[in-house]
Amino acid sequence: MKSTLTGIIVAMQEELEIILQQLEQPQTVERAGMHFHVGLFAGKPVVAVICGVGKVNAAACTQLLISDFRVTQIINIGIAGGLGPGILPGDIVIGDSLVQHDMDVTALGLAPGQIFRLNTFDFKSDPLLLGLAQAASAHITAHNSYTGRIVSGDQFIACPEKSQWLQKEFSALACEMESASIAHVCYLNQLPFVCIRSISDNANNGAHMDFEQFMPIAVENSSILLRHMIPSC
């Protein structure tokens, strides 16, 4: 069997803490101001890193994982804003399709989100990693798990109109600020990718307060799922 090395990308310190506590034989390497933690997680070799918030940080980090650390697949975990009344804090959204919602070439006749002269509208998660994430989501019993589109942009969404637009325009279940750019870089490098997010807020008026309150449970849920899927990766 081909050996795998999994890159695990999170955006914030809070999202990495649980993983670092469980990382065996840890070694840290610094590149571009980011700390890449190499070790064994759930018995498998991984490189775990905080990329920072936003699409540029996430894209730079992804390319470093691929070019410098030679990871063979990438999993992005963390928190997200839920879109629509049915998706509640703590719920899991596994992204099967990722789109950059702030990519706007509509002036040239392209649909919102479509990247100029790229032969795909969305970036798809790897079917194998997606299946493993869905199977592992059975371990989250107190919250619901969904699979669907996640949209990313360099904006913290905290307004009902924008949240409704993201639902209507992209049929998205969740929004955050990194995964579509990670998926884009993986697409360019033909590397398997999946995104697993847990909901911290509903991207509406109270999002900034919900975010603080529900972040711990959301972080815990996405890392539980990761721990259960990594042994099969």
Task: Enumerate binding residues for ligand ADE (CB under 6 A).
Answer: 79-81, 156-158, 175-177, 200-201, 203, 207, 211
* In the complex, residue closest to ligand ADE by CB: 81
Residue 67, Cβ neighbours under 10 Å: how many?
11
Minimum distance from residue 221 beta carbon to ligand ADE (Å):
13
Smallest distance from ligand ADE to CB 31, Å: 25
CA–CA gap between residue 95 and residue 58 (Å, rounded): 16
CB 204 within 8 A of CB 83: no
- Which among 126, 176, 178, 201 is annotated as catalytic? 201
Residues 6+ apart with CB under 8 A from 69: 5, 7, 29, 36, 38, 47
Look up 212 and say whether it is catalytic. no
| Smaller CB separation from ligand ADE, 139 or 208 | 208
Q: For ligand ADE, which is the closer residue by CB, 8 or 166?
A: 166
CB of 77 to ligand ADE, least distance (A): 12
Is position 201 annotated as part of the catalytic site? yes
Q: Which is nearer to ligand ADE, 15 or 122 (CB)?
A: 15
Catalytic residue among 15, 96, 176, 178: 15
Closest CB to ligand ADE among residues 130, 219: 219
Q: What is the Cα–Cα distance from 224 to 128, expressed in whole angstroms?
A: 19
As annotated, the active-site residues are 15, 201
